[in-house]
Amino acid sequence: VELHVSLQTQSRKTMLDVVDEASFRVWYSKACASQERQKSLREQRLEQQQHIEERLSIVQQSIEDIKRKKINFGAIKQELKNNEKLFEELRHIAHELESNCKRVKQMMSTIMEHDHNNTLSQSISASAAE
């Protein structure tokens, strides 16, 4: 590329005469590398943007699905109350069962003790009779 006539001298007729070729090549290599990095970053940003847009679309769809569904909180509340009543009944039954088990255990202990005492008395009486 020739320089403008007003910029030309005997030693400078073209751009190559003004710029050191080795420096230009180094600059050119750096510029190309920088341009590739910028291109790569731009592509990454575009991919991230698409990923974010996809996620946003999924979230928006979920929100729309929730809006369309009518949740009957009254029915849920009633169901919870019914379950609480059933739970209390089960607790009462468990308490009664525990109480009954204790009574049976005491009765068995009494019977075993009574039976043991009778057996012991019979053994003593049999020994005394001999």
DSSP letter for each residue of 39-95: HHHHHHHHHHHHHHHHHHHHHHHHHHHHHHSPP-HHHHHHHHHHHHHHHHHHHHHHH
Each residue's pLDDT tens digit, 45-93: 999 999 999 999 999 998 888 888 777 888 889 999 999 999 999 999 9
Query: pTM score, two decimals?
Result: 0.38
Number of C-beta neighbours around residue 18 at 10 A: 13
What pLDDT, on the 0 to 100 scale, is given for residue 124? 67
57 phi/psi in degrees, rounded to 5: -60, -40
Q: Check pLDDT > 90 for residue 37.
A: yes
Q: Check pLDDT > 90 for residue 117.
A: no
Which of the pair, 21 or 87, is modelled with greater confidence?
A: 87
User: Terminal CA-to-CA distance of the chain, rounded, Å?
Assistant: 144
Q: Check pLDDT > 70 for residue 120.
A: no
